[in-house]
Amino acid sequence: MKDSLRQSMALFHTWSGLLLGWLLFAMFATGTAAYFQDEITRWMQPEVTGDADPATAAQGAMRYLNSVAPDAKSWYISLPNSRSATTQVYWQPSGERPAKRVETSALLDRGGHAITSRETRGGFFLYRFHFDLHYMPVLWARYLVGVAAMFMLVAILSGVITHKKIFADFFMLRFGKGQRSWLDAHNVTAVLALPFHLMITFTGLVTLASMYMPWGIAANYAEQTAFSEAVFGRSAETVPSGRHAPLADLGPLVRNASARWNDERVGYISIANPNDAAALIEMSRAPEAAFGARGQTATFEGATGRAIGTHQATGSALATESVMIGLHTGRFAEWGLRWLYFLSGLGGTVMVGSGLVLWTVKRRARLSDPSCPHLGFRIVERLNIAAIAGLATGIAVYFLANRLLPLEMVDRAEREIDSLFLAWLGIGLWGILRPAGRAWTEALAIAGACFAAIPLANAMTTSRGLLPSLLAGDWTFVAFDLVMLVLAAGFLLAAVRSAQLRTKAKAGAKPRGANRRATSA
Amino acid sequence: MMHILPATVIVAGFLALAASMKRHQRDLLGRLLTHVQTRSTRMAGWFLLGIGWAVNAALLGPAMGTIVWCGELSLGAALTVTTLNWRTRRPSR
């Protein structure tokens, strides 16, 4: 009975893990990078230095928006947090014409001047890719990501049942033993950060739960806007009066809101009908101030700056959701905890990657003719190369493109993103065209070389290379370059190992793992 | 810096837990422990993990302390695995 449960779970674990494993790998890798999205953005905008004060930034953003879109329907200002130095603004133009994103958004420095040089989406792109993917409608992407996360949850739970020695093997990591080593790596990365994996997968689903399961809201509210109004106190649509009235200064209002929240930072400002007598300003507390992602909001009359009131979404369900999203995104984490988040995420990435490789390693031993595997095997093998080495190379090339593309290039930010996917595609094709064993070695070596090239490109194209940053005590830049070097070393080591294994196999050794009965999945 | 004290306690806890497992005793201690010693080592290990939580909770409050503790548990276990690997690899070479 017990064994049959284990066997069915093994089957379940193998296939739920494999089917969307490649997507999960990409989600884990980019999600892990997203814990440092502000630091990545800083590195990708080396011209921007120093910290920004929210009140000054808000005032600057207002100056900018008054000059480009004084009669917009609404403005949105995302203020710098304690780790970033730039302000992101969006606006909804007054005309009916739908506008492209690049025409209605801008990235500002702390004085409110648009940053036009070295246009980039920085770490924010990796963060959005984590759940919005790219080159496809956001809605589809989020459903796909949701299905993948659900599979992940299933794979984690069935995995704990399947790997019967997961706790007995808690500390076991044996190198150079073929399949056994892959299983060890998979087990160890899974079990060591098991609380993190469970938390991150479950809370990941919660972040988009009301999209995946809209029926609760649909059954109780006629429209989504009625729900947000009731719960978040947001007025669905304020009607402009048509009378012009200049907007009150935002700087003092930011300080006012901040003072209400024990001097916590304001994170986000939305303004309906700016420069109209009926303008309304809503400020939200920065998410870094507490576990809960949904903080308090304070509302002000736009023309007079008079405070209307503060609002905090109440109710235990909302508080739970808010804390779960907060736990997932880790915005509250100070640097020590942030590194723990990052390392756990890296562990998760390795867990998914080693699981994918394990699928082929286990089956290679049982192939009737290892030199000519069946189609399914070949597909998985090639997709593994594309997913693991391909994405790694893509991310490295994204950073390289940021340093190497001409600074004043048109649509530069988009070209950086295209570089990522071109490199990814390139490695994918390489994996198809070359013999699988060689393709692994070569693709891993390319990934390693690209990561190693990043600190070099940084030192040659900016004045903030590793050495000057070290001397200046600029730890963000130092850490970024060092992480790139560690990744480079990791990938190059993997390339060397895979080359060694190939020569060993060629020397007439028995196929790896052939003499070992598969102990568990 | 906040992490150093609790993380050290947690690593000590995991090392004790590893030492309470027969398969790791030779690598870690060079000999097998008696039944009684094994049991007390295991209890000491769990106790140290608990102390790690208490230190975090005292420093950071129960909520933040628990979150940080979970992260340190993963890190501490990873460091223990590395230590074990390092100790098992050397004699065989």
Chain B, residues 3-32, CB within 8 A of chain A, namely: 3, 14, 17-18, 21, 23-24
Best A192, A324, A341 member to test B by mutation, with max B CBs in 10 Å, is A192
A195–B74: do the CB atoms touch at under 8 Å?
yes
pLDDT at A350: 96
Contact A170, B77 (CB under 8 A): yes
B73–A170: do the CB atoms touch at under 8 Å?
no
* Maximum pairwise Cα distance, chain B: 47
Residue burial A342-366, b: 16+ Cβ < 10 Å; e: rest: bbbbbbbbbbbbbbbbbbbbbbbbe
Rounded distance between C-alpha atoms, residue A184 and residue A180, angstroms: 6
Rounded distance between C-alpha atoms, residue A51 and residue A515, angstroms: 60
3-class secondary-structure state, position A423? helix
Contact A494, A353 (CB under 8 A): no
Q: How confident is the model at residue B65 (pLDDT cuts 50, 70, 90)?
A: very high
Name residue B85's amino acid: N
B85–A336: do the CB atoms touch at under 8 Å?
no
- Angle, helices A316-329/A194-207, rounded to nearest 10 degrees: 120
B67–A327: do the CB atoms touch at under 8 Å?
yes
- Top pLDDT among A479 and A104 is at A479
A336–B78: do the CB atoms touch at under 8 Å?
no
Please tell me which of the candidates B63, B74, B89 has its beta carbon nearest to residue A344: B74
Q: How confident is the model at residue A2 (pLDDT cuts 50, 70, 90)?
A: low
Query: Among A153-167, A220-234, A282-296, B4-18, which stretch is predicted with the lowest mean pLDDT?
Result: A220-234
Residue burial A414-445, b: 16+ Cβ < 10 Å; e: rest: ebbbebbeebbebbbebbeebebeebbbbbbb
Please tell me which of the candidates A168, A327, A340 has its beta carbon nearest to residue B72: A340
Beta strands across the sheet bearing A297-301:
A105-108, A87-92, A74-78, A266-272, A280-285, A297-301, A307-311
Please report residues of B whose CB lies closer than 8 A to that of A337: 67-68, 71
Which tens digit of pLDDT belongs to each residue from A96-117?
666 666 678 888 988 889 887 7
- Angle, helices A2-19/A335-366, rounded to nearest 10 degrees: 110
pLDDT at B1: 59
Name the residue in chain B with its Cα closest to that of A343: B75
Rounded distance between C-alpha atoms, residue A110 and residue A58, angstroms: 9
Q: How confident is the model at residue A514 (pLDDT cuts 50, 70, 90)?
A: very low
The 10 Å Cβ neighbour count of residue A303 is: 22
Question: For strand A297-301 and strand A280-285, is the pairing parallel, antiparallel, or unpaired?
Answer: antiparallel
Q: How many CA atoms lie within 13 A of A434 on its CB side?
A: 16
Contact A38, A472 (CB under 8 A): no
Name residue A156's amino acid: I
Rounded distance between C-alpha atoms, residue A270 and residue A281, angstroms: 6
Please report residues of A whose CB lies closer than 8 A to that of B18: 170-171
Name residue A30's amino acid: T
Contact A18, A356 (CB under 8 A): yes
- As given in the structure block, the two tokens for residue A390 are 């391909």
Mean pLDDT for A371-384 is 90
pLDDT at A97: 64
- As given in the structure block, the two tokens for residue A20 are 């969307």
- Any idea where the domains of chain A sit in the sequence? 2-45+125-207+332-506, 54-116+234-312
Please report residues of B whose CB lies closer than 8 A to that of A175: 85, 89
Cα torsion for A411, A415, A418, A419, to the nearest 10°? -170
A486 pLDDT above the threshold of 50? yes
A139 pLDDT above the threshold of 80? yes
Which tens digit of pLDDT belongs to each residue from A141-172?
999 999 999 999 999 999 988 877 777 888 88
- As given in the structure block, the two tokens for residue A266 are 């304001």
Chain B, residues 34-93, CB within 8 A of chain A, namely: 63-64, 67-68, 70-75, 77-78, 80-81, 84-85, 89
Burial status of residue A217 (CB atoms within 10 A of its CB: 0-12, 13-18, 19 or more)? middle
Q: Which residues contact A66 (CB under 8 A, 6 or more apart)?
A: A247, A274, A275
CA distance B14 to chain A (A): 9
Burial status of residue A204 (CB atoms within 10 A of its CB: 0-12, 13-18, 19 or more)? buried
Rounded distance between C-alpha atoms, residue A358 and residue A272, angstroms: 54
- As given in the structure block, the two tokens for residue B13 are 């806890």
3-class secondary-structure state, position A297? strand
Name residue A440's amino acid: W
Q: Which residues contact B47 (CB under 8 A, 6 or more apart)?
A: B13
Contact A247, A276 (CB under 8 A): no
Which tens digit of pLDDT belongs to each residue from B31-47?
888 999 999 999 999 99
- As given in the structure block, the two tokens for residue A496 are 């060397």
Mean pLDDT for A484-501 is 95
A195–B70: do the CB atoms touch at under 8 Å?
yes
Provide the sign of the torsion angle of the four alpha carbons A217, A308, A65, A264, taken in this order.
negative
Rounded distance between C-alpha atoms, residue A302 and residue A314, angstroms: 26
* Maximum pairwise Cα distance, chain A: 86
Mean of pLDDT over chain A: 89
CA distance A410 to chain B (A): 43
pLDDT at A234: 60
Question: For strand A297-301 and strand A266-272, is the pairing parallel, antiparallel, or unpaired?
Answer: unpaired
Best B1, B74, B92 member to test A by mutation, with max A CBs in 10 Å, is B74
- As given in the structure block, the two tokens for residue A43 are 């590195």
Which tens digit of pLDDT belongs to each residue from A191-228?
999 999 999 999 999 999 888 888 888 888 887 777 87
Rounded distance between C-alpha atoms, residue A142 and residue A387, angstroms: 19
Please report residues of A whose CB lies closer than 8 A to that of B89: 175
CA-only gyration radius of chain A, Å: 25
Please report residues of B whose CB lies closer than 8 A to that of A344: 71, 74
pLDDT at A100: 64
Rounded distance between C-alpha atoms, residue B52 and residue A411, angstroms: 51
Contact A84, A52 (CB under 8 A): yes
A518 pLDDT above the threshold of 60? no
**Residue A151 Cα distances to A44, A162, A417, A481, angstroms:** 34, 15, 28, 35
B74–A343: do the CB atoms touch at under 8 Å?
yes
Name residue A224's amino acid: Q
CA distance B58 to chain A (A): 16
B71–A327: do the CB atoms touch at under 8 Å?
no
Name residue A283's amino acid: M
pLDDT at A484: 98
Contact A189, A358 (CB under 8 A): no
pLDDT at A516: 37
